[in-house]
Amino acid sequence: EADIYQTPRYLVIGTGKKITLECSQTMGHDKMYWYQQDPGMELHLIHYSYGVNSTEKGDLSSESTVSRIRTEHFPLTLESARPSHTSQYLCASSARQGIGETQYFGPGTRLLVL
């Protein structure tokens, strides 16, 4: 079992609220990622980080922002939540293992914006 944690697991919030989704890993991985996944759909990369003070936008445009002040912590923030942000958000971290990098995923945060 991977040592990567996400809180909260479920969040129901009203439109316009600011929210922060937490992600922490204790494996010492430099690379971390945020994915968005809708039911029955593929994962879409929205943010990634190669290490402290490094953040990049992923393939899917997102109004969220991320920060990487500590290696183990990669929070995602939505300044003003909207119903279109309703989705599952998965955090992952990775380490190089021989032939390639394996990503270890957290349990996800299911967000519902009313």
Partner 1 sequence: KNQVEQSPQSLIILEGKNCTLQCNYTVSPFSNLRWYKQDTGRGPVSLTIMTFSENTKSNGRYTATLDADTKQSSLHITASQLSDSASYICVVSDRGSTLGRLYFGRGTQLTVWP
Which residues bind to partner 1, rule: CB under 8 A?
Answer: 2, 4, 9, 40-45, 48, 90-92, 99-108, 110
CB of 88 to partner 1, least distance (A): 9
CB of 50 to partner 1, least distance (A): 8
31: tokens are: 């690379």
Query: Which amino acid is located at 56 in the chain?
Result: E
DSSP-assigned letters across all residues of 7-68: E-SEEEE-TT--EEEEEEESS--SEEEEEEE-TTS--EEEEEEEETTEEEE-SS--S-EE--
Least distance (Å) between residue 99 CB and partner 1: 5
- Cβ at position 104, least distance to partner 1 in Å: 8
- For partner 1, give the closer residue by CB, 3 or 17: 3
Cβ-based nearer residue to partner 1, 73 or 110: 110
Distance in angstroms (rounded) separating the CA atoms of residues 46 and 43:
9
β-sheet bridge partners, residue 6:
23
Nearer to partner 1 by C-beta: 14 or 99?
99
The alpha-carbon radius of gyration of the chain (Å, integer) is 14
User: Of 17 and 44, which CB lies nearer to partner 1 in the complex structure?
Assistant: 44
